[in-house]
């Protein structure tokens, strides 16, 4: 297969943690041809979507871990599959990229995850379609509603809808300390919609990342445990990753969502679960492949490449 990865610059990869690298390594070991390009490398010329894609070979070395064999403009339908792995922020440039990838699909390209599905599933808002699994949640830009939500629940989390890695997340306890300032800052004085959720104390045991691949549930999750004094378990915010088998509740949530999200064009999904509650549905570039593999032996990258080889996208 010719597999193209739409991803961030290869020079910035952390080989010990990067899930895209794990995918590439597994695909290369199976003899598949690897290509890489960024969103900015895509153009539309005479109605066709092309990308300046580099054919790469993995060297197996820690430093110069890849070698560029050739770089050329190619129509995206020339690849067997394009794997979208660009990290947020999900800004307008990201949105434009999904439109180009969607146009490429009409020309025969096969893209994972489907670009329209990525665009239509905001990673925070997507949980509102599965309220049987969520803690009390409010989405609003109105300070009156946000204050009332705090009055009702007394201990809440406030966060932007377009953040990643724990960015912009605040906890406001019963004393409401700085509630007004936090609301003003996050909503830009009412001009930006945010999310409020009842605080879930089980965060102390970790924010669990549960992976879904082609409608199947990966049997292990990664509990991202906050460091002392933090409410964010994100690894980017200093959390510690501990791999463990899924609990009965985590499996229940995952098995309900897996076929629904697969049918919507989302082959690879990372659910965030705290305690008994679903908190986010990650669809842009879900991670934690390597941490789970290193700690449990469960080869998540192999499961992903297996699905690509079966054409389950």
Q: Are residues 112 and 10 in the same domain?
A: yes
Question: Which residues, other chains included, contact 306 with Cβ-Cβ below 8 Å and sequence gap of 6+?
Answer: none
Proportion of the chain above pLDDT 70, given as a percent: 99
Write out pLDDT tens, residues 21-66: 999 999 999 999 999 999 999 999 999 999 999 999 999 998 899 9
pLDDT of residue 229: 67
Whichever domain contains 65, its CATH number is 3.40.50.20
Residue 165, pLDDT > 70, answer yes
| Residue 140 placed within a domain | yes
Enumerate the β-bridge partners of residue 58. 66
Residue 237, pLDDT > 80, answer no
Q: Please, are residues 33 and 57 in contact by the beta-carbon 8 Å criterion? A: no
In the structure, what pLDDT confidence band is assigned to residue 239 with cuts at 50, 70 and 90? Answer: confident
Q: How many domains does the chain have?
A: 3
Whichever domain contains 163, its CATH number is 3.30.1490.20
| Residue 305 placed within a domain | no
Q: Are residues 158 and 50 in the same domain?
A: no
Residue 231, pLDDT > 80, answer no
Q: Are residues 149 and 206 in the same domain?
A: no
| Residue 310 placed within a domain | no
Handedness of CA 276, 279, 284, 287 (dihedral sign): negative
Q: Please, are residues 4 and 37 in contact by the beta-carbon 8 Å criterion? A: yes
State mean pLDDT over 268-291.
Answer: 97
Q: Are residues 116 and 154 in the same domain?
A: no
Q: Are residues 187 and 249 in the same domain?
A: no
Last residue of a domain, one of 69, 95, 120: 120
Q: Which residues of 215-231 are buried (b: 16+ CB within 10 A; e: fewer)?
A: bbbbbbbbbbbbeeebb
Residue 238, pLDDT > 80, answer no
* Omega prior to 145 cis, within 30 of 0: no
CA–CA distance, 284 with 261 (Å, rounded to integer) = 13
CA–CA distance, 301 with 173 (Å, rounded to integer) = 40
Whichever domain contains 262, its CATH number is 3.30.470.20
Q: Are residues 97 and 7 in the same domain?
A: yes
Cα 102 → chain centroid: 19
| Residue 306 placed within a domain | no
Residue 236's domain spans which residues? 202-300
CA–CA distance, 223 with 23 (Å, rounded to integer) = 21
Enumerate the β-bridge partners of residue 37. 6
Last residue of a domain, one of 199, 221, 239: 199
Q: Are residues 207 and 253 in the same domain?
A: yes
Q: Are residues 270 and 288 in the same domain?
A: yes
Residues marked active site are found at: 124, 159, 209, 224, 232, 272, 280, 282
Q: Give Cα separations from 112 to 102, 136, 194 (angstroms).
A: 11, 32, 28
Q: Are residues 195 and 207 in the same domain?
A: no
| Residue 262 placed within a domain | yes
In the structure, what pLDDT confidence band is assigned to residue 8 with cuts at 50, 70 and 90? Answer: very high
Q: Are residues 27 and 62 in the same domain?
A: yes
Write out pLDDT tens, residues 57-109: 999 998 899 999 999 999 999 999 999 999 998 999 999 999 999 999 999 99
Last residue of a domain, one of 86, 120, 154: 120
Q: Are residues 174 and 187 in the same domain?
A: yes
| Residue 312 placed within a domain | no
Q: Are residues 114 and 7 in the same domain?
A: yes
| Residue 241 placed within a domain | yes
- Please report the DSSP string for the chain in residue order: -EEEEEES-GGG--TTT-HHHHHHHHHHHTT-EEEEE-GGGEEEETTEEEEEEEEEEE---SSS-EEEEEEEEEEGGGSSEEEEEPPPP--HHHHHHHHHHHHHHHTT--EES-HHHHHH--TTGGGGG-GGGS-SEEEES-HHHHHHHHHHHSSEEEEESS--TTTT-EEE-TT-TTHHHHHHHHHTTTTS-EEEEE--GGGGG-EEEEEEETTEE-SEEEEEEPPTT-S---GGGTPEEEEEEPPHHHHHHHHHHHHHHHHTT-SEEEEEEETTEEEEEE-SS---HHHHHHHH---HHHHHHHHHHTT--
| Residue 246 placed within a domain | yes
């Amino acid at each position: 297969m010719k597999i193209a990865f739409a991803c961030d610059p290869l020079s910035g990869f952390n080989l010990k943690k990067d899930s895209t690298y794990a995918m590439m390594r597994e695909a290369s070991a199976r003899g598949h041809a690897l290509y890489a390009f960024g969103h900015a490398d895509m153009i539309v010329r005479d109605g066709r979507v092309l990308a300046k894609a580099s054919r790469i070979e993995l060297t197996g070395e820690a430093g110069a871990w890849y070698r560029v064999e050739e770089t050329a403009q190619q129509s995206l339908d020339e690849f067997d599959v394009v794997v979208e792995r660009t990290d947020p922020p999900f800004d307008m440039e990201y949105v434009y990229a999904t439109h180009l990838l969607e146009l490429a699909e009409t020309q025969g390209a096969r893209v994972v995850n489907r670009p329209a599905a990525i665009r239509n599933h905001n990673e925070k808002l997507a949980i509102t379609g599965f309220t049987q699994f969520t803690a009390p949640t409010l989405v609003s830009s109105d300070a009156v509603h946000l204050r009332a939500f705090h009055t009702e629940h007394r201990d809440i989390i406030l966060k932007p809808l377009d953040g990643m890695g724990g960015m912009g997340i605040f906890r406001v306890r019963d004393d409401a300390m700085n509630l007004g300032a936090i609301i003003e800052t996050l909503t830009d004085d009412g001009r930006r919609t945010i999310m409020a959720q009842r605080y879930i104390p089980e965060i102390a045991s970790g924010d669990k990342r549960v992976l879904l691949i082609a409608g199947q549930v990966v049997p292990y999750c990664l509990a991202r445990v906050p460091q002392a004094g933090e409410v964010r378990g994100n690894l980017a915010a200093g959390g510690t990753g501990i791999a463990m088998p899924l609990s009965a509740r985590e499996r229940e949530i995952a098995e309900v969502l897996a076929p629904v999200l697969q049918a919507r064009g989302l082959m690879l999904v990372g659910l965030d679960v705290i305690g008994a509650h679903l908190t986010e549905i990650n669809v842009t570039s879900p991670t934690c492949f390597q941490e789970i593999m290193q700690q449990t032996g469960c080869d998540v990258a192999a499961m992903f490449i297996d699905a690509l080889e079966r054409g389950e996208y």
